[in-house]
């Protein structure tokens, strides 16, 4: 999207172009542009097997739990902490979602309450350990993550778990064909359209507020509108309606979680306090921020999101296995750290995390479609994570 803006600005002279190229906006877009170029490369290489709306949305659908875990670790990262227990919590609530129904025959609303409570309590324990007892955040959450994982084994026997013909069944709206967990069940596209319209308007206002010197208000407003229209046209040329129609219920839930979290982080005092706490806890405390409370709350939110990730995972899979959450931690952290260099210069934020996590999946999928064995997934995730963190560190050092 930024390359279009660059073309428009170039009209106002080379110095404006240079200023634009070195502006924070441009620097924050570099990674996004790099990814987009990579995908164009995939397109040329693989053609329609890569640029396949259903297949790419299915990637997002299947990775929704990981993306939610990315948001979970992001919240604690904003507070300047690490939460390594999200993988364990995710596995625990997956087992609770399946096991409490199949083995204990609980009513499903009670199961959901149990999952939410598990997330809140687990997060609270993490927060208290780190803040009140001063346990190192790595050690505390590494330990509690092990405990959460262990509890799922203790409660449900430590083996794979799925409904059988004789056991109580999961509710039909939750898992199986035509349910929350199935890719076939779509999110109302009108809501997606409203969201996209809001994004377009937001982008328009954002460009409008960055009027370069020497432009009249009216002319810049027209230019801003033109940029948005051109972008929209490009998206329509890329088959936007098919993407919108393909958004599954799970992806819809993911977007709603992201939206709520974004509002909390951007439009509430809590969000602002959290960023301040993470960036300079001493200064935040002396400015009147209750840093201890904010940090504990960050762990609680992280726990809750991890619990939700587990529930969604259960809906997608319809089964639970002990190793289901292993390997989730790396892509979750990769998504959060990638988010700091997507539309941003060094800050953790919601949309960066979701987009970063999605890009990460597509990079891997592209290679798999192109013939690289799927066993390379973790290698690719690791390489992209390290590269992203290196880039974001360089940006922060400059800032």
Partner 1 sequence: MSSTPRLTVTGLKKSFGSNSVLHGIDLAFEPGQFIGLMGPNGAGKSTLIKILAGLYSADEGTIKLDDETVRNLGSRRECGFIHQDLGLIEDMSICENLRLGQQPMKLVGPILNLKREREAAAEAIARVGLDRDVDTPVSALSPGEKTLVAVARTLDRGARILFVDEATSTLPAADSRRLTDALRRTVDDGATVIMVSHKLSEILDDTDRVVVILDGEISTDEPTASLDREGLVERLVAKESEMAVEGEADACEIGEELIALEAACGGRAGPVDLVLRGGEITGLTGLPGSGLHDIGFLVHGSMRPVSGRVRASRKIRRALVPPHRETQGGIPVSSIRENLTLSSLPRWRGFGRLLALGQEGRDAQGMADELNVVPGDAEGPYGVLSGGNKQKVIFGRVLLKEPQVYVLCEPTRGVDIATRMEIYRLIRKLRSKDVAVLVISSDSEDLFSVCDRIGVVDDGTVEELVPAEEMNTQQLEALV
CB-nearer residue toward partner 1: 250 or 340: 340
CB-nearer residue toward partner 1: 104 or 205: 205
Residue 373: other Cβ atoms inside 10 A: 8
CB-nearer residue toward partner 1: 238 or 283: 283
Helix (H, G, I), strand (E, B) or coil at 17: helix
CB-nearer residue toward partner 1: 37 or 263: 263
CB-nearer residue toward partner 1: 8 or 272: 272
Strand segments (E) across the chain: none
> What separation in angstroms does the CA of 339 have from each of 138, 214, 343?
21, 34, 8
Question: Tokens representing 174?
Answer: 């939750």
- Cα of 209 vs its chain's centroid, Å: 27
CB-nearer residue toward partner 1: 247 or 289: 289
- Going by C-alpha positions, the residue among 68, 63, 343 that lies closest to residue 199 is 343
What's the chain's length in residues?
A: 399
Question: Tokens representing 219?
Answer: 């002319």
Q: What's the closest the beta carbon of residue 215 comes to partner 1, in angstroms?
A: 17
Specify which residues 320 forms β-bridges with: 161
Taking the CA atoms of the chain, what radius of gyration do you get in angstroms?
22
CB-nearer residue toward partner 1: 40 or 286: 286
Specify which residues 186 forms β-bridges with: 248
Instruction: Please check whether residue 349 is in contact with residue 278, taking contact to mean a CB–CB distance below 8 angstroms.
Output: no
Interatomic CA distance for residues 168 and 159, integer angstroms: 18
For partner 1, the binding residues (CB under 8 A) are 263, 266-269, 272-273, 275-276, 279-280, 282-289, 346-347, 396, 399
Interatomic CA distance for residues 38 and 365, integer angstroms: 12
Q: What's the closest the beta carbon of residue 396 comes to partner 1, in angstroms?
A: 7
Interatomic CA distance for residues 195 and 263, integer angstroms: 14
CB-nearer residue toward partner 1: 61 or 347: 347
Q: What's the closest the beta carbon of residue 349 comes to partner 1, in angstroms?
A: 12
Q: What's the closest the beta carbon of residue 137 comes to partner 1, in angstroms?
A: 20
Q: What's the closest the beta carbon of residue 366 comes to partner 1, in angstroms?
A: 33
Q: What's the closest the beta carbon of residue 213 comes to partner 1, in angstroms?
A: 13
Q: What's the closest the beta carbon of residue 267 comes to partner 1, in angstroms?
A: 4
Q: What's the closest the beta carbon of residue 268 comes to partner 1, in angstroms?
A: 6
Residue labelled with tokens 């959290």: 274
> What separation in angstroms does the CA of 102 have from each of 88, 178, 204?
21, 20, 51
């Amino acid at each position: 999207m930024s390359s279009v803006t660059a073309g428009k600005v170039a009209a106002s002279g080379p110095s404006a172009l240079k200023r634009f190229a070195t502006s924070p906006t441009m620097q924050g877009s570099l990674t996004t542009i790099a990814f987009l170029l990579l995908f164009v490369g995939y397109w040329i290489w693989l053609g329609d097997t890569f640029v396949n709306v259903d297949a790419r949305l299915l990637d997002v659908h299947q990775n929704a739990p990981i993306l939610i875990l990315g948001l979970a670790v992001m919240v604690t990262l904003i507070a300047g902490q690490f939460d390594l227990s999200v993988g364990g919590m995710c596995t625990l609530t997956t087992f609770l979602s399946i096991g409490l129904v199949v083995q204990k025959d609980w009513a499903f609303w009670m199961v959901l309450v149990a999952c939410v409570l598990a997330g809140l309590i687990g997060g609270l324990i993490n927060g208290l350990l780190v803040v009140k007892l001063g346990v190192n955040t790595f050690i505390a959450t590494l330990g509690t993550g092990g405990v959460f994982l262990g509890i799922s084994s203790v409660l449900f026997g430590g083996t794979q778990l799925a409904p059988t013909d004789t056991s109580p069944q999961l509710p039909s709206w939750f898992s199986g064909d035509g349910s929350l967990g199935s890719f076939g069940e779509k999110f109302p596209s009108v809501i997606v359209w409203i969201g996209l319209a809001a994004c377009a308007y937001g982008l328009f206002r954002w460009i409008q507020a960055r009027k370069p010197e020497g432009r009249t208000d009216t002319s810049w407003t027209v230019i801003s509108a033109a940029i948005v229209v051109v972008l929209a046209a490009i998206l329509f040329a890329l088959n936007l309606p098919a993407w919108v129609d393909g958004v599954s219920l799970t992806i819809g839930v993911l977007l709603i979680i992201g939206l709520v979290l974004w509002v909390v982080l951007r439009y509430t005092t809590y969000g602002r306090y959290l960023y301040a706490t993470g960036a300079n806890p001493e200064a935040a405390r002396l400015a009147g921020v209750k840093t201890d409370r904010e940090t504990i709350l960050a762990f609680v939110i992280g726990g809750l999101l991890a619990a939700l990730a587990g529930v969604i995972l259960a809906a997608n899979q319809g089964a639970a296995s002990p190793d289901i959450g292993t390997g989730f931690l790396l892509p979750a952290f990769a998504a959060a750290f990638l988010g700091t260099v997507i539309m941003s210069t060094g800050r953790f934020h919601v949309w960066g995390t979701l987009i970063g996590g999605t890009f990460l999946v597509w990079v891997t999928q592209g290679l798999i479609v192109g013939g690289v064995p799927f066993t390379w997934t973790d290698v690719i995730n690791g390489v992209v994570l390290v590269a992203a963190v290196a880039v974001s560190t360089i940006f922060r050092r400059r800032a």
